[in-house]
Chains A and B, each alone.
Chain A
């Protein structure tokens, strides 16, 4: 059963990165859209993510619940030493969710819209950035439970080149996912071309920031290169991701939306797989080389049993409903009827 729980933890993280990521990315795309096209983009965005954005963010709750029920020591260590980036991320989540809903449901359309837009755009950037910072810090080996100073314990754990580079990488991945997703949601050929151009730039940004991540790891003394390219599994995953990226760009002009999305999703899956495989079963790497392992830190037997069953049964209820939701609100299923 512990493996079932760990599998769900991984799956929930992956789905949050993919779905939540595309969702954040929508705001990032908006940030890089010119004034001329912003209204159209917003409308497309709204139709694309309106019905599904709340469900996309549920995965984060699932991740947190699995952590605090199944791996309470890991959850409490993260909460203590990454308090500050978690707090900033939370502020981003609350600002983004409310701004998105407020801007649509405000009965009066006036200059308050600018306020909502600005909040939405900035929080769409800040939230995934700090998510990335947190993810980077977890494996960076900079978290120091024995630190004697405030800065040592609560700042340097996440304020380092590597974590910040991972933050930027996460932001560009979100933008990339959103651009690929929006290509299929575009309302006309002009928009489609626009989103393809966006996707191109986001791909370059992701590759560039990915390189920065490796450089930062080198500077910070993190053996990232070895982790990923040191074994056949990491090597193959990265290779597959690269091949699929090439295929995606060969086929980008074809109207096969599902293929584009699957390929983009596959790349992210491979990246996450490579990095988590390199560490498994460790979850947090502390300063001095100590590890907090998912297998060692798991909750007592009965808790893992009931958590595993709750997840299995829960996913039987959730997944079909979720698929039907995505299916129903895909652009091509039926023309959207405006209220």
Chain B
């Protein structure tokens, strides 16, 4: 395998792995905090059991997320030393703050996991909330660093030199808000759906129904609220991308020709050679509307961008379709969930829970697809318009071997985590058997 390609694959693999653990690690503490709060308020021991059961999952996910995040901070340099040499001082600000947030998260997690019956109940509860808040802050800061690569700011690029560096301006670049909002909602939606789905499966099997129903409700409320809000943030992101990265938007939509009243293309197979999309559904004027809020506005196509600056169209287009598709299905399920507040009898129907079981992986598929859109859509740039990815890669040959090694490590880690979670879930009836069931 080509070293450059291997480096890109390794980075994609590492980020793709980390992102799932990071999302779960940053959202689950909020579920726990709710369950924990209910236990302290109502004294219902089922909520205490639920908090403890969840906290074991969080410990596993947090540790895996923390070590894979540590790996990433090294991999940035191991794979892209030229990028880090120039970008480090500019976009490093969010990382230095993230260091603090992450540290506080680790400290608070120590208090929370090992603090049962040792501390004042409210102090113990509060440490759990701190885990959530600092995790969320870490996530937002890391996304702010990524958004700088899409929307470089805080320096002047003159004759190949990075001058007048201002790290604060770099952190608050134009894309940070839209990206951070989108990612945060995605984390809540995907984790909420995945957790709700797992508990729904146990409800369908009629094991520990009281326990799993409480768990299901907490997770589903978080997931469904986020899923319903996500389109709004998606719209903000789309308008943002249209303005800053027309090439990315054009690739997302396989929009080859600059035109007014551009149609929104749903699905289809992009043919890059002939600059057409086969078998797609076209909604006239909708792309112009979504990108610029006007049915007749002109949307830049790939023809307005130099060919050597085109991102891979097919990958980005398919990934975007998958992300939006998953999002729409999750939104529909969220609507059903909120309707069940009135139609109480749905809560006793198998099909209702089956919806959530089917949706377990959807949020994470959407996240991986969305991440592909934003990263592959920026290619060939590592810093949009400033530095090419190919110029950033390490001079060391043989990166393919390192990629194989990482693939093996991440595959076995994923296997272990799934294996452990299955064992956790299997043990729930034994550890937390509820006499009221």
Residues of B within 8 A of A76 (CB): 77, 81-82, 84-85, 88
Binds B, one of A23-31, A53-61, A231-239: A53-61
**A329→B98 CA distance, assembly (Å):** 26
Q: Which of B52, B76, B78, B110 is A54 in contact with, Cβ under 8 Å?
A: B110
- Which of B62, B64, B84 has the most A CB atoms < 10 Å from its CB? B84
* Complex Cα spacing A69 to B167, Å: 10
Asked, given contacts A87-B78, A91-B409, whether A105 binds B420 with beta carbons under 8 Å apart, the answer is yes
A310–B100 contact, CB under 8 A?
yes
**Contacting residues of chain B (64-86) with chain A, CB-CB under 8 angstroms:** 64, 66-71, 73-78, 81-82, 84-86
Tell me whether A289 is interfacial, beta carbon within 8 Å.
no
Chain B residues within 8 Å of chain A by Cβ, number: 72
User: In this assembly, does B40 line the interface, its C-beta being within 8 Å of a C-beta of chain A?
Assistant: no
Task: Please determine whether B82 and A98 come into contact, CB atoms closer than 8 angstroms.
Answer: no
Which of B185-193, B293-301, B318-326, B392-400 makes up part of the contact surface? B392-400
Spot the interface stretch: B111-119, B222-230, B362-370: B111-119
Give the complex CA separation of A75 and B83 in angstroms.
11
Tell me if B418 counts as interface (CB < 8 A to partner A). Answer: no
Q: Are A79 and B81 in contact (CB under 8 A)?
A: yes
User: Looking at B88, B395, B413, which has the most chain A CB atoms within 10 Å of its CB?
Assistant: B88
CB–CB A55/B110 < 8 A:
yes
Interface centre among B60, B62, B81 (most CB of A within 10 A): B81
A69-B96, A72-B89, A299-B88 as given contacts; A62 in contact with B77, CB under 8 Å: no
Report Cα–Cα, A73/B86, bound state, in Å: 8
Residue B426 is within 8 A (CB to CB) of chain A in the complex: yes
**B99 in complex: contacting residue of A62, A102, A303, CB < 8 Å:** A62
Across the interface, do A61 and B102 meet the contact criterion of CB distance under 8 Å?
yes
Closest A residue, CB atoms, query B71: A90
User: Which of A90, A108, A339 contacts B70, CB < 8 Å?
Assistant: A90
Asked if A281 is at the interface (CB within 8 A of a chain B CB), the reply is no
Contact across chains for A79 and B409 when beta carbons are under 8 A apart:
no
The reply on A240 being an interface residue by CB < 8 A is no
Name the contact of A62 in the complex, choosing from B85, B103, B115, B116 (C-beta under 8 A): B103
How far is B98's CA from A101's CA once the two chains are assembled, in angstroms? 23
Q: A98 contacts which chain B residues (CB < 8 A)?
A: 63-64, 67, 413, 416
- The answer to whether B84 touches A61 (Cβ under 8 A) is no
The answer to whether B59 touches A97, judged by C-beta atoms less than 8 angstroms apart, is no
* Docked-complex contact B92 and A69, CB < 8 angstroms: yes
| Cross-interface CB contact of A83 among B396, B405, B416, B424, cutoff 8 Å | B396
B71 close to A75 (CB less than 8 A): no
Answer yes or no: B232 CB below 8 A from chain A CBs: no
Q: By the criterion CB–CB under 8 Å, are A68 and B84 in contact?
A: yes
CB nearest to B134 among chain A residues: A317
Q: Which 5 A-B pairs have the closest CB atoms?
A: A69-B92, A79-B77, A314-B100, A299-B89, A72-B88
Q: Chain B: residues with CB nearer than 8 A to chain A?
A: 52, 56, 59-60, 62-64, 66-71, 73-78, 81-82, 84-90, 92-93, 95-100, 102-104, 106-111, 113-119, 165-168, 394-398, 402, 405, 409, 413, 416, 420, 423-424, 426-427, 431
Q: Write 21 A-B pairs (CB below 8 A) sorted by A numbering.
A: A54-B62, A61-B70, A68-B76, A68-B84, A69-B92, A69-B95, A70-B92, A73-B85, A75-B81, A76-B82, A79-B78, A80-B394, A80-B395, A91-B409, A94-B70, A153-B396, A299-B89, A303-B89, A307-B92, A314-B99, A329-B114
